[in-house]
Amino acid sequence: MAKKRNKLVMPFLKWVGGKRQLINEIEPLIPTKISTYYEPFVGGGAVFLNRQPKKAIINDYNAELINVYETIRDNVELLIEELSKHKNEAEYFYSIRALDRQEGFDALSSVKRASRVIYLNKTCFNGLYRVNSSGEFNTPFGRYKNPNIINETVLRAVSNYLNESNITFMSGDFEEALKGARKGSFVYLDPPYDPVSKSSNYTGYTEGGFDREEQLRLREVCRRLDSKGIKFLLSNSATPFIKDLYQDYEIIEVGASRSINSVASKRGEVSEVLVRNYE
């Protein structure tokens, strides 16, 4: 009998392209029997934390993000204590934001670095994790009255889940993260999306971006997974380019509201696709 999921295990960060609003479309498509769950672009982890697999390989190119997951698992009480020291003030915000531009940043403890990411995420404009081409966090201060910087209940619930389960965290290339996948595994892929228009090209949560060459490389990885009999489910934007790339598989079009555009009138419902290679 499957272990009951804990509803308090949920995303602790707001992330670009987060899947919370599409969980009801995605969840029924995930196979019930999975030996190992793989998610090579975990981001805010909405699908992973909703599914709560007992065994998983979780990866993201963003090393600071993966450090947050590992710190929640290994040092949640120290993290909560560190988060309580932060102030919701512009001058303080910019001093914390600037740390990754200064010497000694790499010497900061994993707890201080994780605390910094959560604090900036909760207090920055639009709760948007964004880095420049040098990998430096560059979102401005959000001016919220009472941001929920410390959600102790959720952090402890996620920590308990990670400690009770066999979860391996990696920070690197998606292809590397999938090398151990075997038949019986399941792979959920949520890469940076193919831009709907030139102005909407949002790949700023890791340095280096994710262009169409990368989308083509990802499609080749999907073909290899398929040839090994490994089930995958992929999310992306419903552009002609993506629909053409995955025409050999089942494509389900869904709507998701998006709020990362700086122009309010351009936020709202956008079409996305869910691609799968199984019934």
Overall fold of domain 66-151: Adenine-specific Methyltransferase; domain 2 (1.10.1020)
In this structure, what token pair is assigned to residue 143? Answer: 């001016």
Q: Shortest CA distance to 35 belongs to which of 242, 256, 183, 201? A: 183
Q: Which pLDDT band, with edges at 50, 70 and 90, does 14 fall under?
A: confident
Q: Using CA atoms, how far apart are residues 138 and 116, in angstroms rounded to an integer?
A: 13
Q: Which pLDDT band, with edges at 50, 70 and 90, does 51 fall under?
A: very high
What average pLDDT does range 54-81 have in this prediction?
A: 97
Spatial contact of 189 and 272, defined as CB atoms under 8 Å apart: no
Ranges of beta strands (E only) in 40-196 are: 55-59, 166-170, 186-189
What pLDDT, on the 0 to 100 scale, is given for residue 227? 97
Contacts of 26 (CB under 8 A, 6+ apart): 19, 47, 188, 233, 235, 274
Ranges of beta strands (E only) in the chain are: 37-39, 55-59, 166-170, 186-189, 231-237, 250-258, 268-276
Chain length of the chain: 279
Q: Shortest CA distance to 9 belongs to which of 89, 69, 87? A: 69
For the cut 50, the answer to whether the pLDDT of residue 265 exceeds it is: no
Number of other residues whose CB lies within 10 A of the CB of residue 83:
20
- Domain locations in the chain as residue ranges: 20-62+153-276, 66-151
pLDDT digits over 203-251, tens only? 444 545 788 999 999 999 999 999 999 999 999 999 999 999 999 999 9
What average pLDDT does range 148-153 have in this prediction?
A: 94
3-state DSSP assignment of residue 277: coil
Q: Shortest CA distance to 57 belongs to which of 141, 167, 218? A: 167
Spatial contact of 209 and 163, defined as CB atoms under 8 Å apart: no
Give how far Cα 176 sits from Cα of 212, 250, 275, Å.
19, 25, 21
The H or E element that residue 213 is part of is helix 212-227
pLDDT digits over 90-149, tens only? 999 999 999 999 999 999 999 999 999 999 999 999 887 788 878 888 999 999 999 999
Q: Which residue has the higher pLDDT, 2 or 92?
A: 92
235 phi/psi in degrees, rounded to 5: -105, 145
What pLDDT, on the 0 to 100 scale, is given for residue 268? 54
Contacts of 35 (CB under 8 A, 6+ apart): 55, 182, 184, 185
For the cut 70, the answer to whether the pLDDT of residue 154 exceeds it is: yes
Architecture of domain 20-62+153-276: 3-Layer(aba) Sandwich (3.40)
The mean predicted confidence, pLDDT, of the chain is: 90
Burial code (b: 16+ CB inside 10 Å, e: under 16) for 242-263 equals: bbebbeebebeebebebebeee
For the cut 70, the answer to whether the pLDDT of residue 200 exceeds it is: no
pLDDT digits over 185-194, tens only? 999 999 999 9
